[in-house]
Amino acid sequence: MTTDELFRAIHEHHGDGEWGAVLDAGTGAHSLTWVSALPARSWKAVTADPAQAAALRKAFCAAGGHGAVESGSWEDPELLSGEVFDVVLADYLLGAMDHCSPYFQDQIFTRLRPCVGGVLYVVGLEPFGRFPDSPGRELLAQIVAARDAAFTIAGERPYREYPKEWVERQLLGAGYEIELSQTFKNVYRDEFVRTQLNVAAAQLQYVPSSALRMALHSHLEGLGERAASNPELQDGVRWGTDYVIAARVRP
């Protein structure tokens, strides 16, 4: 994956100016590692998952530090009401929204607008193409499909990614102007495969039918074996893109 390249692109766009107050609007260990290390005056991070909020507080909020983690959903109009940030980061927030707050994706940039005093950075994953055109890409498509199927059969909603063009349309419609729109090629290695298969396997305990549970378990194992012997994956499968969009509220 190219995540560090994405943060580098944000740094480059931001330049040498002050970072001021920074909001990580869809936080996790990876983005908060970056945000909490910025030379910012203060930072705040939001997650919809209370358990994740507790873990991130433990890891990142030292006593007397300049950062805080909030647990809540952007669907709640009171969340961070009246708070304005110089930089707002929406790092893979959109793709996770179908899981946490379905049908609110079309509202998120309007909802964040009062918090955006300077720049909003949106980081996202372009949805995979429908027709993978190499054995490595085909295998990745099957792994991602099995992961999403495990979530669905377990009664959870999987993530749903949105294309860069969709995000740009939403931003323009929500009163932003776009300053930067950049794509970055993705490379998937066995670590990605392991994580996806583990995430899928963790859902199996919630699958109500034992026959289906066993079938899914052996399907996931089979995919793991195929991945271990796939030469393309050993090198890294190049497939699809991530994007970074920088936007400001139109004056």
Ligand X SMILES: C[S@@+](CC[C@H](N)C(=O)[O-])C[C@H]1O[C@@H](n2cnc3c(N)ncnc32)[C@H](O)[C@@H]1O
Q: Interface with ligand X by CB under 6 A: which residues?
A: 26-31, 46-49, 52, 73-75, 91-93, 96-97, 100-101, 104
Residue 110 corresponds to which amino acid?
Answer: T
Do strands 42-47 and 67-71 pair parallel, antiparallel, or not at all (unpaired)? parallel
Chain-centroid distance of CA 232 in Å reads 25
The smaller minimum CB distance to ligand X, of residues 159 and 248, is found at: 159
In the bound complex, what is the minimum distance in angstroms from residue 33's beta carbon to ligand X? 8
Task: Return phi, psi of residue 245, to 5°.
Answer: -125, 130
**Residue 11 to residue 222: CA distance in whole angstroms:** 41
In the bound complex, what is the minimum distance in angstroms from residue 110's beta carbon to ligand X? 13
**Strand partners for 180:** 246
**Residue 95 to residue 99: CA distance in whole angstroms:** 8
The smaller minimum CB distance to ligand X, of residues 203 and 230, is found at: 203
The smaller minimum CB distance to ligand X, of residues 135 and 163, is found at: 163
Residue of closest CB approach to ligand X: 28
The smaller minimum CB distance to ligand X, of residues 32 and 154, is found at: 32
In the bound complex, what is the minimum distance in angstroms from residue 49's beta carbon to ligand X? 4
In the bound complex, what is the minimum distance in angstroms from residue 95's beta carbon to ligand X? 6
Task: Return phi, psi of residue 71, to 5°.
Answer: -105, 125
